[in-house]
Amino acid sequence: MLPRLLARELPGHRVATVAAQGWTGIVNGELLRRAEAAGVEVFLTADRKMEYQQRLSGRTFGVVVIAAGGTKLEDLHLLGDALREAVASVTPGEVLHVSRGG
């Protein structure tokens, strides 16, 4: 699970967490359906298997997969510029990867 304070890395964006939405414990397929119904534009995840387990093409939102070596805010902060760029450029149905080292 990504920390809610990650929102600080994305100024100018409205950020909602799975927990804040009341979706904790919801499995990926249903989670993606709920995100789509809620009008999510970009879905951030640290689940690197999701794109192989779920159909993401054709979704109304883009997906940014984060691989920072951990999900602590300190780890994610190192991805700041790359994360902001990915969030700004991902298109619906597209999957972009952001990781340390490229």
- Looking at the structure of the chain, the number of domains it has is 1
Burial of 62 by CB count in 10 Å (0-12 exposed, 13-18 middle, 19+ buried)? buried
CA 12 – CA 102 distance, rounded (Å): 24
pLDDT in tens, 29-86: 999 999 999 999 999 998 989 999 999 999 999 999 998 777 777 777 788 889 999 9
CA 57 – CA 42 distance, rounded (Å): 13
pLDDT in tens, 7-31: 888 888 888 889 889 999 999 999 9
CA 78 – CA 17 distance, rounded (Å): 20
Single pTM value for the model: 0.88
Residue linked to tokens 């794109």? 51
| pLDDT above 70: residue 101 | no
Full residue range of the structural domain in which residue 30 is found: 4-99
